Amino acid sequence: MILHTLIDYEILRVIWWALLGVLLIGFALTDGFDMGVGALLPFVAKTDVERRVAINTVGPVWEGNQVWFILGGGAIFAAWPPLYAVSFSGFYLAMFAVLSALILRPVAFKYRSKRDDPRWRSTWDWALFVGGAAPALLFGVAVGNVLLGVPFHLTPDLMPMYDGTYYGKFLGLLRPFALLAGVVSLSMLVMHGAAWLSLKAEGPVAERARTIGVRAGMVAAGGYALAGLWMAFGIDGFSLTGDVVRDGPSNPLYSEVARGGTWLSAYLERPWIIFAPVMGFAGIGLAVRGLQAGREVSTLLWSKMAIAGIIASVGLTMFPFILPSTVDPTSSLTVWDASSSHLTLFVMLVATAIFMPLILLYTAWVYKVLWGKVTEDDVNGNSHSLY
């Protein structure tokens, strides 16, 4: 018996759909508070010392946290090649903007303390703000566009084709619902960054972070609720019609897809998935209460629960769709027709089973070593540190 046949192709596809969600959630939980702190920096820190305190709360860990982003991109490339081809080419300008912001962030980290000039440091502090706020916003805009559907179709030889001009594809992403999703993403990660600063900083920085974090949490909850209502009454969903072959070859054109109804019909078909939005709302509420009460560790954990629930709700609501097409619904990519081969998914799963625990153990060890608050005395005692 060939080893990879021990796990059915259908099951492997679902496993890798779930693992992709885990990687995206892992990125949001870890690098999310880095971006949140960057977005908060100009508002929670008024002096250079306070800004250095805020920066040094994430300075030792932000590079490691970006591993989840790289793993997510690698998983899309290897496990879902059609998704990689369609999304990375169609969203090219948006992804270029995200990567530019993410590249700007490490440059700002490395250069802000090279000179004592206040203008120099202020410039790089605003660069850190852009490097945190822009990706947080654009990631949400991308998720909003996935829910709306993307204007592409596949040719008979599976080449993706997009409607509109090249630059119009970027501007076309800035649709009202997508912008709302971007606001939810940004406010959610600002709340997460505030929870992190509440844990890692003290004094005025932590107090200001709590105040802004409470407001951001309220915006996130309101925006998330509004997005749900919008999806229920203003956005057409997608559904598979006819016979669905879950273990057949990966060719989206073999599937029959219809557009209409609502995405939220998934909650009638699979009522158990209601746990995800409940986690989202409950996590936000408990995180806001924790920020108001000055609690630290539990507040960060509730914030993580909110993020996990909100992101999971998107994937569970859309399942089995990964990237629907508004131009030709038949070209929509689903879990059943957009994956790599059976053998590829199995080999990747074995590698993941070996290396993922190592990554988690190393990450846990790093956070244990770096546990504790960053104080003004710490940064004042090392005025020429990297940050």
| DSSP element (H, E) containing 288 | helix 275-293
- DSSP assignment of 24-38 equals HHHHHHHHHHHHHHH
Q: What pLDDT, on the 0 to 100 scale, is given for residue 312? A: 97
Residue 60 CB contacts under 8 Å (≥ 6 apart), including other chains: 366, 370
- Per DSSP, 100 falls in state H
Q: What pLDDT, on the 0 to 100 scale, is given for residue 387? A: 61
Helix (H/G/I), strand (E/B), else coil: 150: strand
- DSSP assignment of 161-186 equals EE-S-HHHHHHTT--HHHHHHHHHHH
Q: What pLDDT, on the 0 to 100 scale, is given for residue 164? A: 58
- What's the pTM? 0.92
Q: What is the mean pLDDT of each run of 10 residues along the chain (387 residues)?
A: 74 95 93 94 92 90 85 89 86 86 89 87 93 94 92 86 62 86 97 96 93 97 96 90 84 86 91 96 97 93 97 96 92 92 92 90 87 81 58
Residue 372 and residue 8: Cα distance in Å, rounded? 46
- Torsion sign over Cα 127, 379, 202, 363: positive
Residue 32 and residue 38: Cα distance in Å, rounded? 10
Residue 213 and residue 290: Cα distance in Å, rounded? 10
Q: 86 with 321: CB under 8 angstroms?
A: no
Q: What pLDDT, on the 0 to 100 scale, is given for residue 168? A: 47
Q: What pLDDT, on the 0 to 100 scale, is given for residue 152? A: 87
Q: What pLDDT, on the 0 to 100 scale, is given for residue 383? A: 55
Q: What pLDDT, on the 0 to 100 scale, is given for residue 116? A: 84
